[in-house]
Amino acid sequence: MRTPLVAANWKMHMPVAPAVKLVGEMKAALRDLRGVEVVICPPATALAAVGQALAGTPYLLGGQTMHWEPQGAYTGEVSAPMLVDVGCRAVLLGHSERRLYFGETDEAVGRKVRAAFAHGLVPIVCVGESLEERQAGSADGVIARQVRAAVQGVAPQEFPRLVIAYEPVWAIGTGQTATGTEANRVAGLIRRLLADSGAAGAAEIRILYGGSVKPDNIREFLEQPEIDGALVGGASLDARAFAAIVRAAAEAGR
């Protein structure tokens, strides 16, 4: 049985002081709830402080992006060893905002996934189609391309640690969500693609849904057999809302 996972993507929000305050509120709201994995992905400037605030809890620290090289002349970037250095255990890779605004290609995402594994980070790889792609009937093809590129060259024994987040771009920050049934269908497609890509343990890989997840819609996704949790943006900036989502995931895992 796959342990549910809920990841918080704070995006470009939260200077250090409010970030630490939010972690304090989340800790109080969750009280070391078990049976669910929680990953908090603050902006790079708050990683160290949030990592300290999470010390002693079961919740993991994650980066929002990284470069594939371990070091070098890449102004503005952070590397996998640097994320590990401040206490990260996971990293979001290939978020649609990175793909759209920062030109992150499928090939770059693949390099980053391999680098994350090489440095012991759990890659949480985001895939998803745009509205135009969905309307054109090419959603499945886009997802297949993104998934195949992301896992190219990943060793079979690494696959069980991989996490994939299906985030339809048109559902991110819009208040619109995919239906539970459709998200489940796409998650099933992703799992088959992973098995075809050499993941002997494809059944162990966690697949999350993301895109306007809130406390009042999370159950629709958690009750789907192929969906193992959520990647949460906006609602993760509110301790009570995020805690309600995490609690629902813990209940779903029982």
35 is in an annotated binding site: no
Nearest distance in Å: CB 97, ligand PGA: 7
Binding site for ligand PGA (CB under 6 A): 9, 167, 172-173, 210-213, 231-235
175 is in an annotated binding site: no
Q: Which helix (H) or strand (E) holds 128?
A: none
* Distance between CA atoms of residues 152 and 137, nearest Å: 25
Nearest distance in Å: CB 66, ligand PGA: 16
Q: Closer CB to ligand PGA, residue 158 or residue 238?
A: 238
211 is in an annotated binding site: no
Distances (CA, A) of 163 to 16, 23, 59, 113: 27, 23, 16, 11
Which of 190, 108, 183 is closest to 150 using CA atoms? 108
Nearest distance in Å: CB 234, ligand PGA: 3
* Distance between CA atoms of residues 35 and 4, nearest Å: 7
Q: Closer CB to ligand PGA, residue 104 or residue 167?
A: 167
Residue 198: burial class (beta carbons within 10 Å; 0-12, 13-18, 19+)? middle
Q: Closer CB to ligand PGA, residue 154 or residue 171?
A: 171
Q: For the beta carbon of residue 33, count every other beta carbon within 10 angstroms.
A: 17
198 is in an annotated binding site: no
Query: Can you tell me which residue has the tokens 């994650």?
Result: 62
Q: Which residue is closest to ligand PGA by CB?
A: 233
* Distance between CA atoms of residues 34 and 5, nearest Å: 11
Nearest distance in Å: CB 14, ligand PGA: 14
214 is in an annotated binding site: no
Diameter over CA atoms, the chain: 48
Q: Closer CB to ligand PGA, residue 178 or residue 199?
A: 178
| Residues belonging to the active site | 95, 167
Binding site members for substrate: 9-11, 173, 212, 233-234
- Residues comprising the binding site? 9-11, 173, 212, 233-234
